[in-house]
Structure 1
Amino acid sequence: MTRMRILLLAAPALALAACGGGQGAAREPAPAAAIPAPTGRPADATPWQLRPAPPCARDNGGITLPPGFCALVVADSLGPVRHLAVAPNGDVYAALSGRRGGPTGALALRDTDGDGRADVRQAFGSGAATGMEIYDGWLYFAPDDAVVRWRMTPGELVPRGQPERIVTGLPTGGHAARSMAFDGRGGMFVNVGSRTNACQAADRQTGQPGQDPCPELETRAGTWRFDAGRPNQTQAQGERWATGIRNGMALDWNAAAGVPFAVSHGRDQLAGWPGFTEQANAETPAEEMFRLDRGTDGGWPYCFYDPATRRKLLAPEYGGDGRETGRCPGKAEPVYAFPAHWAPNDLLFYTGTQFPQYYRDGAFVAFHGSWNRAPLPQQGFNVAFLPFRGGRPLGTHEVFASGFATVENPQPQTARHRPTGLAIGPDGSLYVADDVGGRIWRIRYVGTG
């Protein structure tokens, strides 16, 4: 059973239009304000399978894609959009994080005239949030401290009433963003990131030893499994499914493997410790993709994955010198290692049929972009693709969509767009969101002929 960011209708859209080959400490967040819109207009009643696909933008909305793909901008200037969900009728739901003082809560978006752009926008919900999923007829929404849901009503854009609280009291601070994945059997997996970089009592202080044992591991730095339909669960009532994963925010269910996978944000700031150079800090550790079998232990904070030696090394806060493995043998190895500090913010296994066979069941990863690769240029700010077959990575990753930052040597504070969220549309299109410009793209395959 695949992740239900959408209850997918597999038939491809007809009458695909040709496209142009474009290249090319925060203040308290404000609540989302209602955006004026014609509230009574229904979605186009024509089924998605019979709608002609809208034309792509001549410049693909400013991003660069592989040959045969094109993009249009569904909506822009929405605020700090994180994760997305797309309903079977094409309505788009977006979580807002409140980054840089922007709005919080959720947005519902609808295209009523079939041009591909959302002409109706309505705000609902509350709280700084990242996770947004559709599962079993419910819209799940994850503020930093909880998971809530609304029953969806066919034809209605915004869910009615107050949400039902499914999980409450999740720890906040540090890596507080919540992501979710569903196994199709009633299980909901939730990422709970670490509070600190490496479990030091004084966070991010060179020379300060790590706490041993790390007390965070009881409630953080792992993935918890909950009952997707049981109200008012506490974290203690869930199951700590996987541990030792610093911040596995890029999280999705893989049907072929029968387990969730996560791509974790690796630790920062190795430079300054004995045996660790600035170059090592820039290119280490890898952003690890984990297969999350029950009981997986990724080794954080004691260990990190060195892509140069392809080994788990002992962290300097626990006596590591850049060569010693110490207690790390036996910790879960990544099934794939992405470049350091790219910041994986979402993972999506492609279950649609619109894209060519090469992409079927493969992993798309939205990389938010690095801030700490100095003295080397910052990297990431893209959507990467990793082929999968039979629930296992096949080959190496490639950059699928780039050009989001729109500036040379982008920095987090100068990048115009930073990818954060992924979803599949009912026709198999790939939706991508960013939390700086507040833009949502829809990417389609139109062929190379």
Structure 2
Amino acid sequence: MLAALTGGCSEHAEYDPSNQVGANPPLPGVHNFLAPPIQVPKYVGWQNGNKPKVADGLQIEAIASGLQHPRQVYVLPNGDILVAEANSPDAEPVTTPKQLIAGMITARSGKKEQGANRITLLRKRTDGSGQWDKHVFIDHLHSPFGMQLVGHTLYVADTDAILTYPYQSGETRISAPGAELTDLPDKINHHWTKALLASPDGKKLYVGVGSNSNAGENGLDVEYRRANVLEVDIATGGSRIFAAGIRNPTGLQWEPKTGQLWAVANERDEIGADLVPDYLTSVREGGFYGWPYSYWGQHVDRRAQPQRPDMVAKAVRPDYSIGSHVAPLGLLFYSGSNLPAQYRGGAFISEHGSWNRSPLSGYAVVYVAFENGKPVGTPKAAVSGFVSNDEKESYGAPVGLVQDTDGALVIADDVGNTVWRVTKVGG
């Protein structure tokens, strides 16, 4: 989290323990805004060979640039890397204050870009040059995000449906049309990304579906099957709500020691610079996590109407706060041996960054240690430098995370239009 970094050099960046991180974050009083403040750095991109800063013992290189809004990355068994290039679907007419705010953010950032609506395949050359070739793998998609390979079937989560494609190892393009497995909630005012994760036995898919509002202000009718993690049966396409009340669940991952499902969540805005903490949490089957009626357990949000004290009473408190407005979008439990020992056994989180607080928060990839299947300590910045020191200019922002077949950390940077690869020094 940028706001929590102390000291001058990001290579030695540490988190301030007094910040809102951990299992028991301090929660200030509610600040009701007529209109929330907007603090968005202007997009300038990576220029003159600049790149993100990394912590001691790490090095970073760009393996693909010139992409069109790369959001998610996925590694195939043969080492190829898939990149979903997408942005939100075509904008609807501005009818709500939140949509107006979104337009103001885009205007201030100076970055107006539609995603390519495709999946690009990256393949490392075998000539020892370290270069990666780009191939258009699947195109004509509709804001794709999540990707999962089960057997010889590739599942792609468009914003409105899960599609299936036949896959053969080594191919650089799929020309077969996608077949719909199941539809997904698709009326978009807010969250359009659909995170996707297969069960270990390959029989189920888990889908993160974000809310269609900040705190239910558009009415709960538009929230049907939203703010949920859905479970989809691969054999039939049938689905059910696995867990509910998570405003925008993304980065779905299995914790390797316990086999428990985990996610990161983007919480609600517009009630203060330090409310509400975004979080990392285990996702319990049948669990309800509060949205829109409460946050961080039983803290009531008075904006949600009608009030539901019965729902508040059963709201699950998240496991671990990662700070307010950091906008986590990617989660990776690292299991490799390429990175230094201090990055093994825990989780990397990509923080896309805030738009409504000063100083900024997020704009980093952080590492959270785990012990006995639970997060401990405070996050450590592994990759930072996505914004200028004065917070006026933006070079990039991290989204998807994946571990490649060599144990490197791969990062999709949707603002800098780059895919980065992080290894240990000399690796």
Q: Normalising TM by the smaller chain, what interval?
A: 0.7 to 0.9
Is the alpha carbon distance of 1:219 and 1:327 closer, same or farther for their aligned partners in structure 2, counting shifts above 3 Å?
A: closer
CA contact (8 A) 1:73 1:117 kept: no
CA contact (8 A) 1:144 1:172 kept: no
The correspondence for 2:231, drawn from 225, 246, 265, is 225
Residue 232 of structure 2 aligns to which amino acid in structure 1? F
Give the alignment of 1:124-203 within 5 angstroms: 124-125=138-139, 126-173=141-188, 174-185=190-201, 186-201=203-218
Q: Give the structure 2 partner of residue 277 of structure 1.
A: none
> Alpha-carbon deviation of 1:326?
9.0
Is the alpha carbon distance of 1:179 and 1:169 closer, same or farther for their aligned partners in structure 2, counting shifts above 3 Å?
A: closer
Q: Give the structure 1 partner of residue 273 of structure 2.
A: 282
CA contact (8 A) 1:221 1:243 kept: yes
Counterpart CA distance in 1 for 2:65 and 2:246 is 33
Which protein has the larger Cα radius of gyration, Structure 1 or Structure 2?
Answer: 1
**Which structure 1 residue ranges, 4+ long, deviate > 6 Å from structure 2?**
21-24
Residue 105 of structure 1 aligns to which amino acid in structure 2? R
Q: Give the structure 2 partner of residue 121 of structure 1.
A: 135
Unaligned residue ranges in structure 2 (runs of 5+): 1-9, 14-47, 89-112
> Alpha-carbon deviation of 1:169?
4.2
- More contact order relative to length (CA 8 Å, sep ≥ 6): 2
Give the alignment of 1:373-388 within 5 angstroms: 373=357, 376-388=358-370
Percent identity, aligned pairs only, is 29
| CA deviations over 1:102-154 (Å, ceiling 9, x no partner) | 32121112222333332333252322122123343433221101112323212
1:314 aligns with 2:300: yes
Counterpart CA distance in 1 for 2:395 and 2:246 is 30
CA contact (8 A) 1:107 1:121 kept: yes
Counterpart CA distance in 2 for 1:72 and 1:443 is 7
CA contact (8 A) 1:79 1:436 kept: no
Q: Secondary structure at the match of 1:444?
A: strand
Give the alignment of 1:233-248 within 5 angstroms: 233=237, 237-248=238-249
Counterpart CA distance in 2 for 1:136 and 1:444 is 29
1:350 aligns with 2:363: no
Q: Report the number of matched residues.
A: 355
Q: Give the structure 1 partner of residue 262 of structure 2.
A: 261
CA contact (8 A) 1:90 1:425 kept: yes
The correspondence for 2:416, drawn from 428, 437, 445, is 437
> Alpha-carbon deviation of 1:242?
0.4
Is the alpha carbon distance of 1:338 and 1:428 closer, same or farther for their aligned partners in structure 2, counting shifts above 3 Å?
A: same
Counterpart CA distance in 1 for 2:50 and 2:167 is 31
Q: Give the structure 2 partner of residue 17 of structure 1.
A: none
Counterpart CA distance in 2 for 1:442 and 1:220 is 33
CA contact (8 A) 2:120 2:134 kept: no
CA contact (8 A) 1:85 1:93 kept: yes
Unaligned residue ranges in structure 1 (runs of 5+): 1-20, 25-58, 202-210, 271-280, 306-310
Is the alpha carbon distance of 1:304 and 1:119 closer, same or farther for their aligned partners in structure 2, counting shifts above 3 Å?
A: same
Q: Secondary structure at the match of 1:436?
A: coil
Q: Which moved more, 1:347-356 or 1:184-193?
A: 347-356
Is the alpha carbon distance of 1:183 and 1:87 closer, same or farther for their aligned partners in structure 2, counting shifts above 3 Å?
A: same
> Alpha-carbon deviation of 1:164?
3.2
CA contact (8 A) 1:423 1:431 kept: yes
> Alpha-carbon deviation of 1:319?
8.4
Q: Give the alignment's Cα RMSD to 1 decimal.
A: 2.7
CA contact (8 A) 2:261 2:284 kept: yes
Residue 257 of structure 1 aligns to which amino acid in structure 2? T
Q: Secondary structure at the match of 1:98?
A: coil
1:359 aligns with 2:350: no
Q: Secondary structure at the match of 1:127?
A: coil
1:86 aligns with 2:86: no
| CA deviations over 1:355-402 (Å, ceiling 9, x no partner) | 2343233111111111011xx212211111111133211222111110
TM-score (normalised: structure 1): 0.73
Give the alignment of 1:98-113 within 5 angstroms: 98=87, 100-112=113-125, 113=127
Is the alpha carbon distance of 1:216 and 1:222 closer, same or farther for their aligned partners in structure 2, counting shifts above 3 Å?
A: farther
Is the alpha carbon distance of 1:123 and 1:405 closer, same or farther for their aligned partners in structure 2, counting shifts above 3 Å?
A: farther
